[in-house]
Amino acid sequence: MQKRTLGQGLEVSAIGLGCMGMSRAYGPNPGSRDEMIAVLRGAVDLGVTLFDTAEVYGPYVNEELVGEALAPVRDHVVIATKFGFRIGEEGLDSRPEHIREVVDASLGRLGTDVIDLLYQHRVDPAVPIEDVAGTVAELIAEGKVRHFGLSEASAATIRRAHDVHPVTAVQSEYSLWTRDPEAEVLPVLGELGIGFVPFSPLGRGFLTGGIDTTTVFAADDMRNGLPRFSEKNREANAGLIAHVTALAAAKDATTGQIALAWLLAQQPWIVPIPGTRRLSRVEENLGAAELVLRGDELAALDAVADVVQGERYTAAQFAQVDR
């Protein structure tokens, strides 16, 4: 498996694994806990070294799952988790005392003595980012955390945090159909030497080509409430999938591999974390690291992706995005 380096010299596999869906978000999990552990351990065997979780996934149970699965190989993987929500309530909480409480609890659930990469899950407007960065810096000095990250943070916030303590990685949604970070965030990351970890790099499944206007999501699938997954917008965005599918056929690849290869081609410090519950999908996704897209192919993808319809979040969800 190819390796890439995020900020502060943190080396990880070129493609990581987002673990959220193993515990929540995309409808009933088709596999048991033991099956999910087998997927996680199988991913390690395939060369994945970056695993992404959070206290809010489940909540709590995803960290426990990841910790148990990776315990036998703990020294060979990078575990990323997050703080910043008030579990069981609405809203954000990045007060320094809460960050410390979350870190201690996450260490216990993960069964480890150090968190490799700790993200602020969402920027809390009630707490200065300098206080957040300073608290994480203290945790790093205490040996409880190795690297500091931010999620869905604006360019200005990233700069302010980085001035207090070097930011290793920023995690935000980025894919062929969500290109918001390109205007301001990616240039700042390149300037400051910070890595970028796109979540939902396959457009929450849309960019795999398996979703169309006839798709019916389970009642508890989060996509039911996302504007971009309305039937109208799925129909409007069918042209993007048609183009990606045709290119995939020409390259003897899958549509998902094309989407991931496009991401990898944007910058050498970009490490996507597609989520899945199936080891076969992990293997498929990793194949994108070997796929080379020509300049004209990348330009054509850029052009067709410029006309994506529908917001990625609801207004309430956007209220928790630092913009």
CB-CB contact of 198 with 172 (8 Å) = yes
Beta bridge partners of 199: 173
The verdict on residue 83 lying in a domain is yes
Rounded distance, CA 233 to CA 182, Å? 22
Average pLDDT over residues 167-186: 97
Residue 167, domain member (yes or no): yes
CATH number at 173 reads: 3.20.20.100
Per-residue model confidence (pLDDT) at position 25 = 65
pLDDT in tens, 222-243: 899 999 999 999 998 999 999 9
Say what the pLDDT of residue 89 is: 86
Q: Taking 80 as the threshold, does the pLDDT of residue 113 lie above it?
A: yes
Q: What is the mean pLDDT of residues 198-217?
A: 93
Q: Are 6 and 269 in contact (CB under 8 A)?
A: yes
Is residue 206 a contact partner of residue 245, using CB atoms and an 8 Å limit? Answer: no
Is 124 part of any domain?
Answer: yes
Q: Is the pLDDT of residue 146 over 90?
A: yes
What helix, strand, coil percent values describe the chain, rounded to 5?
50, 15, 35
Residue 127 within any structural domain of the chain: yes
Give the helix ranges, DSSP H, for 29-122: 33-46, 61-70, 96-110
Would residue 102 count as lying in a domain?
yes
* Percent share of the chain, pLDDT over 70: 99
pLDDT of residue 252: 98
What is the reported pLDDT for 291?
97
- Is the pLDDT at 57 greater than 70? The verdict is yes
**57 tagged catalytic:** yes
Task: Answer yes or no: is 67 within a domain.
Answer: yes
Structural domain for 121, as ranges: 3-203+257-291
Say what the pLDDT of residue 188 is.
98
Average pLDDT over residues 298-314: 92
Flag whether pLDDT at 206 surpasses 70: yes
Split at pLDDT 50, 70, 90, the class of 117 is very high
At what angle are helices 61-70 and 33-46 packed, to 10 degrees?
Answer: 50
* Residue among 57, 60, 119, 313 flagged as catalytic: 57
**For residue 59, cis peptide bond before it (omega within 30 degrees of 0):** yes
Range from 71-80, 114-123, 216-225 carrying the lowest mean pLDDT: 216-225
Please state the domain count of the chain: 1
Sign of the torsion formed by the C-alpha atoms of 278, 280, 284 and 290: positive
Task: Taking residues 68-80, report their average pLDDT.
Answer: 98
CA-based max dimension of the chain = 54
Please, which pLDDT band fits residue 1 given cuts at 50, 70 and 90? confident
pLDDT at 31: 76
Q: Can you give the pLDDT at residue 323?
A: 84
In a domain, 133, yes or no: yes
Taking the complete model, does pTM exceed 0.85, yes or no?
A: yes
pLDDT at 30: 63
- pLDDT for the residue numbered 28: 73
User: Average per-residue pLDDT in the chain?
Assistant: 95
Tell whether 221 is covered by a domain.
Answer: no
| Contacts with 90 (C-beta within 8 Å, 6 or more apart), sequence order | none
